[in-house]
Amino acid sequence: MAATAAAALSACPSATNTTACCYHDHDRYSAPFLSLRSSPKQSHFYLVKTTLKPYGSPRRSIPSISATSNHSVPFGVYNDDKPREECGVVGIIGDPDAAQLCSLALHALQHRGQEGAGIVSSDGAALHSATGLGLVSEVFSNPRTLAPLVGESAIGHVRYSTAGAASALANVQPFVAGYRFGKLAVAHNGNLVNYRPLRYTLESRGSIFNTSSDTEVILHLIAISSSRPLLARIIEACETIEGAYSLVFLSANKLFAVRDPHGFRPLVMGRRRSTGAIVFASETCALDLINAEFVREVNPGEVLVVDGKDMSTTSACLMPEMPRKACVFEHVYFALPNSIVFGHPVHASRYSFGAALARESPVPGADIVIPVPDSGFFAALGFAEGSGVPFQQGLIRSHYVGRTFIEPDKEGRNLAVKLKLAPVRAILEGKSVVVVDDSIVRGTTSSKIVQLIKTAGGAREVHMRIASPPIVGSCYYGVDTPRSEELISNRMNVEGVRQEIGCESLAFLSLDSLRGAFGNEGHKFCDACFTHNYPVPLKDQEVMQLAEA
Protein backbone atom coordinates (compact mmCIF):
# COMPACT_ATOMS: atom_id res chain seq x y z
CA MET A 1 0.00 0.00 0.00
CA ALA A 2 2.73 2.43 0.94
CA ALA A 3 4.62 1.63 -2.25
CA THR A 4 1.49 2.33 -4.33
CA ALA A 5 0.96 5.62 -2.58
CA ALA A 6 4.62 6.55 -3.00
CA ALA A 7 4.43 5.89 -6.73
CA ALA A 8 1.34 8.05 -7.06
CA LEU A 9 2.81 10.83 -4.97
CA SER A 10 6.03 10.88 -6.92
CA ALA A 11 4.05 11.93 -9.98
CA CYS A 12 2.55 14.94 -8.25
CA PRO A 13 3.83 18.42 -9.11
CA SER A 14 6.18 20.22 -6.81
CA ALA A 15 4.50 22.39 -4.21
CA THR A 16 7.08 25.16 -4.05
CA ASN A 17 5.54 28.57 -3.43
CA THR A 18 6.65 32.04 -2.45
CA THR A 19 6.70 33.41 1.06
CA ALA A 20 3.12 34.72 0.96
CA CYS A 21 1.58 31.32 0.21
CA CYS A 22 0.81 28.21 2.18
CA TYR A 23 3.83 26.09 1.26
CA HIS A 24 7.56 26.62 1.68
CA ASP A 25 10.23 24.98 -0.45
CA HIS A 26 10.55 22.08 1.94
CA ASP A 27 6.80 21.52 2.14
CA ARG A 28 6.59 18.96 -0.64
CA TYR A 29 4.89 15.62 -1.18
CA SER A 30 7.63 13.96 0.82
CA ALA A 31 8.58 11.02 3.02
CA PRO A 32 7.25 12.42 6.34
CA PHE A 33 3.87 12.77 4.64
CA LEU A 34 3.96 9.16 3.44
CA SER A 35 4.95 7.96 6.87
CA LEU A 36 2.01 9.73 8.46
CA ARG A 37 -0.55 8.42 6.02
CA SER A 38 0.71 4.85 5.99
CA SER A 39 0.47 4.31 9.74
CA PRO A 40 -1.48 1.08 10.50
CA LYS A 41 -3.84 3.03 12.77
CA GLN A 42 -4.53 5.69 10.19
CA SER A 43 -5.98 5.79 6.72
CA HIS A 44 -4.41 5.34 3.31
CA PHE A 45 -5.40 7.48 0.36
CA TYR A 46 -4.36 7.75 -3.22
CA LEU A 47 -3.45 10.68 -5.41
CA VAL A 48 -3.97 10.17 -9.11
CA LYS A 49 -3.24 12.69 -11.85
CA THR A 50 -6.36 13.49 -13.93
CA THR A 51 -8.33 10.71 -12.22
CA LEU A 52 -12.11 11.04 -12.37
CA LYS A 53 -13.04 8.45 -9.71
CA PRO A 54 -12.07 8.74 -6.04
CA TYR A 55 -10.76 5.70 -4.22
CA GLY A 56 -12.12 4.42 -0.92
CA SER A 57 -10.17 4.56 2.31
CA PRO A 58 -10.89 3.93 5.99
CA ARG A 59 -11.99 6.93 7.97
CA ARG A 60 -10.14 8.39 10.91
CA SER A 61 -10.43 11.50 13.03
CA ILE A 62 -7.93 13.87 14.58
CA PRO A 63 -7.04 12.71 18.11
CA SER A 64 -8.44 14.79 20.98
CA ILE A 65 -10.98 16.58 18.75
CA SER A 66 -14.49 15.42 19.57
CA ALA A 67 -16.55 14.22 16.62
CA THR A 68 -19.78 14.24 18.58
CA SER A 69 -22.63 15.64 16.50
CA ASN A 70 -24.83 18.41 17.75
CA HIS A 71 -27.84 19.73 15.90
CA SER A 72 -28.87 22.60 18.11
CA VAL A 73 -27.41 25.16 15.73
CA PRO A 74 -29.68 28.22 15.86
CA PHE A 75 -31.58 28.89 12.68
CA GLY A 76 -31.39 32.28 11.02
CA VAL A 77 -34.30 34.66 10.84
CA TYR A 78 -36.78 33.09 8.46
CA ASN A 79 -37.93 35.97 6.31
CA ASP A 80 -39.96 34.19 3.66
CA ASP A 81 -42.11 31.06 3.85
CA LYS A 82 -39.66 28.95 1.87
CA PRO A 83 -36.55 27.02 2.85
CA ARG A 84 -33.46 29.06 2.08
CA GLU A 85 -30.21 27.78 0.68
CA GLU A 86 -27.19 28.82 2.70
CA CYS A 87 -24.87 29.89 -0.09
CA GLY A 88 -23.18 29.37 -3.41
CA VAL A 89 -19.48 29.01 -4.18
CA VAL A 90 -17.25 29.64 -7.19
CA GLY A 91 -13.57 28.92 -7.88
CA ILE A 92 -11.56 29.91 -10.97
CA ILE A 93 -7.91 29.30 -11.79
CA GLY A 94 -5.86 29.98 -14.92
CA ASP A 95 -7.52 33.17 -16.21
CA PRO A 96 -6.14 36.74 -16.03
CA ASP A 97 -9.70 38.00 -15.38
CA ALA A 98 -10.38 35.52 -12.59
CA ALA A 99 -11.94 38.00 -10.14
CA GLN A 100 -14.16 39.61 -12.79
CA LEU A 101 -15.35 36.19 -13.97
CA CYS A 102 -15.91 35.18 -10.37
CA SER A 103 -18.21 38.16 -9.83
CA LEU A 104 -20.21 37.24 -12.94
CA ALA A 105 -20.54 33.63 -11.80
CA LEU A 106 -21.73 34.86 -8.40
CA HIS A 107 -24.45 36.84 -10.17
CA ALA A 108 -25.69 33.56 -11.64
CA LEU A 109 -25.76 32.05 -8.13
CA GLN A 110 -27.43 35.05 -6.47
CA HIS A 111 -30.58 33.00 -5.77
CA ARG A 112 -28.54 30.86 -3.37
CA GLY A 113 -27.68 33.74 -1.05
CA GLN A 114 -28.56 37.43 -0.87
CA GLU A 115 -27.12 38.69 2.42
CA GLY A 116 -23.46 38.99 1.53
CA ALA A 117 -20.89 38.37 -1.19
CA GLY A 118 -17.14 38.14 -1.35
CA ILE A 119 -14.17 37.31 -3.57
CA VAL A 120 -10.57 36.39 -2.74
CA SER A 121 -7.97 36.37 -5.51
CA SER A 122 -4.36 35.22 -5.72
CA ASP A 123 -1.56 36.71 -7.79
CA GLY A 124 0.76 33.78 -7.10
CA ALA A 125 2.35 35.43 -4.08
CA ALA A 126 -0.41 36.94 -1.95
CA LEU A 127 -4.17 36.71 -1.40
CA HIS A 128 -6.43 39.75 -1.92
CA SER A 129 -9.91 39.95 -0.41
CA ALA A 130 -13.09 42.01 -0.87
CA THR A 131 -16.35 41.22 0.96
CA GLY A 132 -19.54 43.12 1.68
CA LEU A 133 -23.15 42.90 2.79
CA GLY A 134 -25.89 42.83 0.18
CA LEU A 135 -26.28 41.55 -3.36
CA VAL A 136 -23.36 40.90 -5.69
CA SER A 137 -24.39 43.94 -7.76
CA GLU A 138 -24.23 46.06 -4.61
CA VAL A 139 -20.96 44.73 -3.21
CA PHE A 140 -19.10 44.89 -6.54
CA SER A 141 -20.95 47.78 -8.20
CA ASN A 142 -17.86 50.00 -8.08
CA PRO A 143 -15.05 48.88 -10.44
CA ARG A 144 -12.56 50.03 -7.80
CA THR A 145 -13.75 47.18 -5.56
CA LEU A 146 -12.63 44.57 -8.09
CA ALA A 147 -9.46 46.40 -9.15
CA PRO A 148 -7.28 45.20 -6.22
CA LEU A 149 -8.35 41.58 -6.80
CA VAL A 150 -5.49 40.81 -9.15
CA GLY A 151 -4.22 37.41 -10.22
CA GLU A 152 -5.22 34.40 -12.30
CA SER A 153 -7.14 32.56 -9.57
CA ALA A 154 -10.05 33.51 -7.34
CA ILE A 155 -12.81 32.03 -5.20
CA GLY A 156 -16.16 33.64 -4.44
CA HIS A 157 -19.17 33.20 -2.20
CA VAL A 158 -22.76 34.40 -1.87
CA ARG A 159 -24.33 33.95 1.53
CA TYR A 160 -27.62 33.29 3.20
CA SER A 161 -27.06 32.64 6.88
CA THR A 162 -28.15 29.57 8.81
CA ALA A 163 -25.89 29.72 11.86
CA GLY A 164 -24.36 33.09 12.69
CA ALA A 165 -25.45 36.70 12.66
CA ALA A 166 -27.13 37.47 9.36
CA SER A 167 -25.95 41.07 9.16
CA ALA A 168 -22.38 40.61 10.44
CA LEU A 169 -19.74 41.52 7.87
CA ALA A 170 -17.28 39.26 9.70
CA ASN A 171 -19.40 36.25 8.67
CA VAL A 172 -19.25 37.04 4.95
CA GLN A 173 -17.03 34.58 3.09
CA PRO A 174 -14.55 33.70 1.69
CA PHE A 175 -12.59 33.63 4.93
CA VAL A 176 -8.85 34.25 4.81
CA ALA A 177 -6.56 32.94 7.54
CA GLY A 178 -2.82 32.94 8.06
CA TYR A 179 -0.94 30.06 9.62
CA ARG A 180 2.70 29.07 9.83
CA PHE A 181 2.99 28.11 6.13
CA GLY A 182 1.23 31.13 4.66
CA LYS A 183 -2.36 32.13 3.96
CA LEU A 184 -5.43 30.17 2.93
CA ALA A 185 -8.93 31.23 1.83
CA VAL A 186 -12.08 29.09 1.98
CA ALA A 187 -15.70 29.32 0.82
CA HIS A 188 -18.26 26.82 2.09
CA ASN A 189 -21.72 25.68 1.03
CA GLY A 190 -23.36 23.44 3.63
CA ASN A 191 -23.61 23.00 7.37
CA LEU A 192 -21.51 21.08 9.89
CA VAL A 193 -23.60 19.11 12.35
CA ASN A 194 -20.70 18.74 14.82
CA TYR A 195 -19.66 22.39 14.66
CA ARG A 196 -20.42 23.30 18.26
CA PRO A 197 -18.51 20.50 20.02
CA LEU A 198 -15.60 21.03 17.63
CA ARG A 199 -15.57 24.74 18.33
CA TYR A 200 -15.79 24.15 22.08
CA THR A 201 -12.84 21.75 21.96
CA LEU A 202 -10.76 24.11 19.82
CA GLU A 203 -11.50 27.08 22.08
CA SER A 204 -10.60 25.05 25.14
CA ARG A 205 -7.20 24.45 23.50
CA GLY A 206 -6.63 28.16 22.88
CA SER A 207 -8.13 28.82 19.44
CA ILE A 208 -9.62 32.28 18.97
CA PHE A 209 -12.61 32.64 16.66
CA ASN A 210 -13.42 35.83 14.76
CA THR A 211 -16.85 34.77 13.42
CA SER A 212 -19.92 32.77 14.41
CA SER A 213 -19.73 30.68 11.22
CA ASP A 214 -19.10 26.94 11.27
CA THR A 215 -16.72 27.39 8.31
CA GLU A 216 -14.08 28.93 10.57
CA VAL A 217 -13.73 25.60 12.38
CA ILE A 218 -12.33 24.10 9.18
CA LEU A 219 -9.55 26.68 9.02
CA HIS A 220 -8.61 26.05 12.65
CA LEU A 221 -8.45 22.30 12.05
CA ILE A 222 -6.14 22.87 9.09
CA ALA A 223 -3.93 25.22 11.10
CA ILE A 224 -3.42 22.82 14.04
CA SER A 225 -2.77 19.79 11.85
CA SER A 226 0.73 18.38 11.88
CA SER A 227 0.31 16.78 8.45
CA ARG A 228 2.14 17.95 5.35
CA PRO A 229 1.55 19.23 2.70
CA LEU A 230 -1.58 21.42 2.58
CA LEU A 231 -3.58 18.71 0.82
CA ALA A 232 -3.00 16.38 3.76
CA ARG A 233 -4.12 19.08 6.19
CA ILE A 234 -7.33 19.63 4.25
CA ILE A 235 -8.06 15.91 4.12
CA GLU A 236 -7.37 15.54 7.84
CA ALA A 237 -9.69 18.43 8.69
CA CYS A 238 -12.46 17.04 6.51
CA GLU A 239 -12.15 13.63 8.16
CA THR A 240 -13.06 15.34 11.44
CA ILE A 241 -16.03 17.45 10.38
CA GLU A 242 -19.48 15.91 9.85
CA GLY A 243 -22.41 17.06 7.79
CA ALA A 244 -22.70 18.77 4.43
CA TYR A 245 -19.87 20.66 2.77
CA SER A 246 -18.92 21.68 -0.72
CA LEU A 247 -15.72 23.71 -0.29
CA VAL A 248 -13.30 25.67 -2.42
CA PHE A 249 -9.89 26.57 -0.96
CA LEU A 250 -7.39 28.99 -2.46
CA SER A 251 -3.70 29.17 -1.60
CA ALA A 252 -1.11 31.27 -3.42
CA ASN A 253 -1.01 29.03 -6.48
CA LYS A 254 -3.41 26.14 -5.93
CA LEU A 255 -7.17 25.76 -5.99
CA PHE A 256 -8.82 22.93 -4.04
CA ALA A 257 -12.41 21.73 -4.48
CA VAL A 258 -13.86 19.37 -1.86
CA ARG A 259 -17.19 17.58 -1.49
CA ASP A 260 -18.47 15.65 1.51
CA PRO A 261 -18.74 11.83 1.25
CA HIS A 262 -22.54 11.87 0.88
CA GLY A 263 -22.53 14.63 -1.74
CA PHE A 264 -25.30 16.62 -0.05
CA ARG A 265 -24.62 19.93 -1.79
CA PRO A 266 -23.78 20.30 -5.48
CA LEU A 267 -20.36 21.21 -6.87
CA VAL A 268 -19.41 21.01 -10.55
CA MET A 269 -16.24 21.45 -12.58
CA GLY A 270 -15.97 23.25 -15.91
CA ARG A 271 -13.39 24.62 -18.30
CA ARG A 272 -13.44 27.96 -20.11
CA ARG A 273 -13.26 27.46 -23.85
CA SER A 274 -11.21 30.58 -24.54
CA THR A 275 -8.45 30.34 -21.92
CA GLY A 276 -8.61 26.77 -20.64
CA ALA A 277 -9.21 28.07 -17.11
CA ILE A 278 -10.75 25.56 -14.72
CA VAL A 279 -13.92 26.61 -12.92
CA PHE A 280 -15.79 25.16 -9.96
CA ALA A 281 -19.32 26.28 -9.08
CA SER A 282 -22.38 25.26 -7.13
CA GLU A 283 -24.50 25.08 -10.31
CA THR A 284 -23.94 24.75 -14.04
CA CYS A 285 -25.80 28.04 -14.66
CA ALA A 286 -22.67 29.81 -13.34
CA LEU A 287 -20.54 27.97 -15.91
CA ASP A 288 -22.91 28.97 -18.71
CA LEU A 289 -22.68 32.67 -17.91
CA ILE A 290 -18.87 32.79 -18.20
CA ASN A 291 -18.68 30.50 -21.26
CA ALA A 292 -17.27 27.53 -19.40
CA GLU A 293 -18.02 24.03 -20.61
CA PHE A 294 -19.29 21.53 -18.07
CA VAL A 295 -16.72 18.77 -17.45
CA ARG A 296 -18.15 16.75 -14.56
CA GLU A 297 -19.28 16.85 -10.95
CA VAL A 298 -16.81 16.84 -8.13
CA ASN A 299 -17.51 13.35 -6.81
CA PRO A 300 -18.77 12.83 -3.27
CA GLY A 301 -15.76 12.31 -1.00
CA GLU A 302 -13.31 13.73 -3.52
CA VAL A 303 -10.68 16.46 -3.37
CA LEU A 304 -9.64 18.02 -6.67
CA VAL A 305 -6.43 20.06 -6.72
CA VAL A 306 -5.53 22.38 -9.60
CA ASP A 307 -1.96 23.68 -9.71
CA GLY A 308 -1.83 27.18 -11.14
CA LYS A 309 1.74 26.73 -12.36
CA ASP A 310 1.02 24.07 -14.97
CA MET A 311 -2.80 23.69 -14.67
CA SER A 312 -2.39 20.02 -13.80
CA THR A 313 -5.32 18.44 -11.96
CA THR A 314 -4.98 15.88 -9.18
CA SER A 315 -7.78 13.86 -7.62
CA ALA A 316 -7.59 12.49 -4.08
CA CYS A 317 -9.86 10.40 -1.92
CA LEU A 318 -11.29 12.17 1.09
CA MET A 319 -13.35 9.42 2.72
CA PRO A 320 -14.44 5.84 2.19
CA GLU A 321 -17.34 5.40 -0.17
CA MET A 322 -20.68 6.22 1.46
CA PRO A 323 -24.26 6.11 0.17
CA ARG A 324 -24.86 9.15 -2.00
CA LYS A 325 -27.49 11.44 -0.47
CA ALA A 326 -27.80 14.52 -2.67
CA CYS A 327 -30.29 17.11 -1.46
CA VAL A 328 -33.55 16.54 -3.33
CA PHE A 329 -34.68 20.08 -2.51
CA GLU A 330 -32.17 21.37 -5.04
CA HIS A 331 -34.58 20.00 -7.65
CA VAL A 332 -37.74 20.95 -5.78
CA TYR A 333 -36.85 24.60 -5.19
CA PHE A 334 -33.26 25.81 -4.78
CA ALA A 335 -31.50 25.42 -8.11
CA LEU A 336 -32.27 27.48 -11.18
CA PRO A 337 -34.29 25.55 -13.79
CA ASN A 338 -31.56 26.05 -16.41
CA SER A 339 -29.02 24.20 -14.26
CA ILE A 340 -28.08 20.54 -14.34
CA VAL A 341 -27.78 19.39 -10.74
CA PHE A 342 -26.64 15.93 -9.63
CA GLY A 343 -26.72 14.87 -13.27
CA HIS A 344 -30.39 15.78 -13.87
CA PRO A 345 -31.83 18.88 -15.63
CA VAL A 346 -33.74 20.81 -12.99
CA HIS A 347 -36.56 21.98 -15.27
CA ALA A 348 -37.23 18.39 -16.37
CA SER A 349 -37.41 17.18 -12.77
CA ARG A 350 -39.93 19.86 -11.86
CA TYR A 351 -42.01 19.15 -14.94
CA SER A 352 -42.13 15.46 -14.03
CA PHE A 353 -43.15 16.31 -10.45
CA GLY A 354 -46.12 18.25 -11.81
CA ALA A 355 -47.09 15.55 -14.30
CA ALA A 356 -47.02 12.89 -11.57
CA LEU A 357 -49.10 15.16 -9.32
CA ALA A 358 -51.73 15.45 -12.08
CA ARG A 359 -51.97 11.67 -12.27
CA GLU A 360 -52.14 11.25 -8.51
CA SER A 361 -54.41 14.16 -7.57
CA PRO A 362 -56.44 15.52 -10.51
CA VAL A 363 -58.98 18.30 -10.05
CA PRO A 364 -62.18 17.41 -11.95
CA GLY A 365 -63.89 20.46 -13.38
CA ALA A 366 -60.92 22.78 -13.03
CA ASP A 367 -60.80 25.67 -15.49
CA ILE A 368 -57.14 26.67 -15.38
CA VAL A 369 -53.79 25.74 -13.87
CA ILE A 370 -51.53 28.55 -12.61
CA PRO A 371 -48.06 28.46 -11.01
CA VAL A 372 -46.83 30.29 -7.95
CA PRO A 373 -43.96 32.10 -9.68
CA ASP A 374 -41.21 31.48 -10.23
CA SER A 375 -40.33 28.08 -8.76
CA GLY A 376 -43.76 26.56 -9.43
CA PHE A 377 -43.66 27.26 -13.17
CA PHE A 378 -42.39 23.96 -14.60
CA ALA A 379 -44.38 21.85 -12.13
CA ALA A 380 -47.53 23.74 -13.11
CA LEU A 381 -46.72 23.21 -16.77
CA GLY A 382 -46.34 19.48 -16.12
CA PHE A 383 -49.62 19.40 -14.21
CA ALA A 384 -51.47 21.29 -16.94
CA GLU A 385 -50.23 19.12 -19.77
CA GLY A 386 -50.69 15.95 -17.72
CA SER A 387 -54.30 16.83 -16.83
CA GLY A 388 -55.37 18.56 -20.03
CA VAL A 389 -56.34 21.72 -18.12
CA PRO A 390 -55.17 25.00 -19.71
CA PHE A 391 -52.06 26.64 -18.29
CA GLN A 392 -52.22 30.34 -17.48
CA GLN A 393 -50.09 32.95 -15.73
CA GLY A 394 -52.66 34.04 -13.16
CA LEU A 395 -50.11 35.53 -10.76
CA ILE A 396 -47.53 38.10 -11.81
CA ARG A 397 -44.40 38.39 -9.73
CA SER A 398 -42.69 41.71 -9.16
CA HIS A 399 -38.92 41.46 -9.55
CA TYR A 400 -38.32 44.88 -8.08
CA VAL A 401 -39.18 44.28 -4.45
CA GLY A 402 -36.28 45.38 -2.26
CA ARG A 403 -35.04 43.03 0.38
CA THR A 404 -35.89 45.60 3.05
CA PHE A 405 -39.57 44.88 2.49
CA ILE A 406 -39.16 41.26 3.59
CA GLU A 407 -39.61 41.46 7.32
CA PRO A 408 -39.35 38.58 9.82
CA ASP A 409 -42.66 39.25 11.60
CA LYS A 410 -46.15 38.24 10.51
CA GLU A 411 -47.19 41.66 9.23
CA GLY A 412 -44.05 41.89 7.16
CA ARG A 413 -44.64 38.49 5.59
CA ASN A 414 -48.25 39.44 4.73
CA LEU A 415 -47.05 42.62 3.05
CA ALA A 416 -44.33 40.70 1.23
CA VAL A 417 -46.89 38.47 -0.51
CA LYS A 418 -48.86 41.48 -1.78
CA LEU A 419 -45.72 43.24 -2.93
CA LYS A 420 -44.36 40.18 -4.70
CA LEU A 421 -47.50 38.73 -6.31
CA ALA A 422 -50.32 40.42 -8.22
CA PRO A 423 -53.35 38.43 -9.42
CA VAL A 424 -54.61 38.83 -13.00
CA ARG A 425 -58.32 39.22 -12.39
CA ALA A 426 -59.29 38.80 -16.06
CA ILE A 427 -57.79 35.30 -15.94
CA LEU A 428 -58.96 34.24 -12.48
CA GLU A 429 -62.40 35.74 -12.03
CA GLY A 430 -65.15 33.16 -11.61
CA LYS A 431 -62.79 30.26 -12.35
CA SER A 432 -61.98 27.02 -10.56
CA VAL A 433 -58.21 27.46 -10.26
CA VAL A 434 -55.50 24.86 -9.64
CA VAL A 435 -52.54 26.58 -8.00
CA VAL A 436 -49.25 24.66 -8.22
CA ASP A 437 -46.46 25.49 -5.78
CA ASP A 438 -43.19 23.72 -5.02
CA SER A 439 -43.68 23.32 -1.24
CA ILE A 440 -45.48 24.45 1.90
CA VAL A 441 -43.39 25.29 4.96
CA ARG A 442 -45.19 27.30 7.61
CA GLY A 443 -48.33 27.74 5.53
CA THR A 444 -48.45 31.50 6.04
CA THR A 445 -47.60 32.37 2.44
CA SER A 446 -49.92 29.72 1.02
CA SER A 447 -52.88 31.08 3.00
CA LYS A 448 -52.15 34.60 1.75
CA ILE A 449 -51.91 33.40 -1.85
CA VAL A 450 -55.25 31.60 -1.57
CA GLN A 451 -56.83 34.69 -0.05
CA LEU A 452 -55.29 36.93 -2.74
CA ILE A 453 -56.58 34.76 -5.59
CA LYS A 454 -60.08 34.66 -4.14
CA THR A 455 -60.47 38.29 -3.07
CA ALA A 456 -58.36 40.33 -5.47
CA GLY A 457 -58.52 37.77 -8.26
CA GLY A 458 -62.17 36.80 -7.93
CA ALA A 459 -61.62 33.05 -8.30
CA ARG A 460 -64.57 30.78 -7.52
CA GLU A 461 -62.45 27.92 -6.15
CA VAL A 462 -58.80 27.44 -5.33
CA HIS A 463 -57.25 23.96 -5.35
CA MET A 464 -53.67 23.79 -4.11
CA ARG A 465 -51.34 21.17 -5.57
CA ILE A 466 -47.85 20.90 -4.06
CA ALA A 467 -45.05 19.40 -6.16
CA SER A 468 -43.28 17.79 -3.20
CA PRO A 469 -44.27 15.74 -0.15
CA PRO A 470 -45.19 17.45 3.14
CA ILE A 471 -42.17 18.94 4.92
CA VAL A 472 -42.12 17.42 8.39
CA GLY A 473 -38.48 17.78 9.50
CA SER A 474 -35.87 20.51 9.71
CA CYS A 475 -32.72 20.28 7.63
CA TYR A 476 -29.29 20.16 9.28
CA TYR A 477 -27.23 20.03 6.10
CA GLY A 478 -27.07 23.65 4.93
CA VAL A 479 -30.71 24.60 4.40
CA ASP A 480 -32.40 27.18 6.58
CA THR A 481 -35.77 25.75 7.64
CA PRO A 482 -37.92 26.58 10.65
CA ARG A 483 -37.86 24.35 13.70
CA SER A 484 -40.01 21.24 13.43
CA GLU A 485 -42.78 22.68 15.60
CA GLU A 486 -43.16 25.57 13.13
CA LEU A 487 -43.63 23.28 10.12
CA ILE A 488 -47.35 23.14 9.42
CA SER A 489 -47.27 19.59 8.02
CA ASN A 490 -45.46 18.40 11.13
CA ARG A 491 -48.33 19.70 13.27
CA MET A 492 -51.31 18.86 11.06
CA ASN A 493 -52.49 16.26 8.58
CA VAL A 494 -53.36 17.24 5.00
CA GLU A 495 -56.94 18.09 5.87
CA GLY A 496 -55.80 20.27 8.75
CA VAL A 497 -53.41 22.11 6.47
CA ARG A 498 -56.17 22.57 3.88
CA GLN A 499 -58.45 24.16 6.44
CA GLU A 500 -55.64 26.36 7.72
CA ILE A 501 -54.77 27.83 4.32
CA GLY A 502 -58.41 28.06 3.19
CA CYS A 503 -58.43 26.26 -0.16
CA GLU A 504 -61.13 23.91 -1.51
CA SER A 505 -58.73 20.99 -1.88
CA LEU A 506 -55.07 20.25 -1.18
CA ALA A 507 -52.75 17.46 -2.32
CA PHE A 508 -49.02 16.83 -2.07
CA LEU A 509 -46.80 14.80 -4.38
CA SER A 510 -46.18 11.36 -2.95
CA LEU A 511 -42.69 10.38 -1.85
CA ASP A 512 -42.72 7.43 -4.26
CA SER A 513 -43.44 9.73 -7.20
CA LEU A 514 -40.75 12.17 -6.11
CA ARG A 515 -38.20 9.38 -6.02
CA GLY A 516 -39.56 7.86 -9.21
CA ALA A 517 -38.78 11.04 -11.13
CA PHE A 518 -35.08 10.15 -10.81
CA GLY A 519 -35.48 6.54 -11.97
CA ASN A 520 -33.09 4.09 -10.38
CA GLU A 521 -31.25 6.96 -8.67
CA GLY A 522 -34.22 7.90 -6.48
CA HIS A 523 -32.65 6.26 -3.42
CA LYS A 524 -29.51 8.39 -3.84
CA PHE A 525 -31.23 11.59 -2.71
CA CYS A 526 -31.57 12.93 0.82
CA ASP A 527 -35.27 13.39 1.64
CA ALA A 528 -34.95 13.74 5.42
CA CYS A 529 -37.16 16.85 5.42
CA PHE A 530 -39.98 14.60 4.18
CA THR A 531 -39.12 11.42 6.11
CA HIS A 532 -36.99 12.25 9.20
CA ASN A 533 -34.45 9.74 7.83
CA TYR A 534 -31.22 11.70 8.37
CA PRO A 535 -28.18 10.23 6.55
CA VAL A 536 -25.74 11.64 9.14
CA PRO A 537 -27.09 10.64 12.57
CA LEU A 538 -27.88 13.50 14.89
CA LYS A 539 -26.70 13.17 18.46
CA ASP A 540 -28.35 15.16 21.23
CA GLN A 541 -25.22 15.91 23.22
CA GLU A 542 -25.07 19.63 24.00
CA VAL A 543 -21.97 21.77 24.32
CA MET A 544 -22.75 22.33 27.99
CA GLN A 545 -22.40 18.61 28.60
CA LEU A 546 -18.88 18.87 27.22
CA ALA A 547 -18.19 21.84 29.46
CA GLU A 548 -19.37 19.93 32.53
CA ALA A 549 -17.34 16.82 31.71
Report the catalytic residues: 87
Q: Is 503 annotated as a binding residue?
A: no
Q: Is 529 annotated as a binding residue?
A: yes
For residue 158, what are the contacts with CB-CB under 8 A and spacing of at least 6?
87, 88, 106, 109, 110, 112, 113, 114, 116, 117, 136
Report which of 206, 228, 218, 207 is spatially closest to residue 15, judged by C-alpha positions.
Answer: 228
Apex CA 248: angle with CA 311 and CA 322, to 5°?
Answer: 105
The helix/strand/coil state of 172 is coil
Report the Cα 62 to chain-centroid distance in Å. 26
Let me know: does 270 contact 281? Beta carbons within 8 Å: yes
Buried/exposed code over 177-190 (b: 16+ C-beta within 10 A; e: otherwise): bebebbbbbbbbbb
Q: How far is CA 402 from CA 13, 123, 349, 398, 399, in A?
A: 49, 36, 30, 10, 9
Report the Cα 523 to chain-centroid distance in Å. 20
Q: Is 438 annotated as a binding residue?
A: yes
The helix/strand/coil state of 341 is strand
Alpha carbons 365 and 431: distance in angstroms, whole number: 10
Q: Is 327 annotated as a binding residue?
A: yes
Q: Which amino acid is at 276?
A: G
Alpha carbons 232 and 38: distance in angstroms, whole number: 12
Let me know: does 207 contact 220? Beta carbons within 8 Å: yes
Q: Is 437 annotated as a binding residue?
A: yes
Alpha carbons 234 and 222: distance in angstroms, whole number: 6
Binding residues for Mg(2+), by number, are 375, 437-438
Binding residues for [4Fe-4S] cluster, by number, are 327, 475, 526, 529
Binding residues, by number, are 327, 375, 437-438, 475, 526, 529
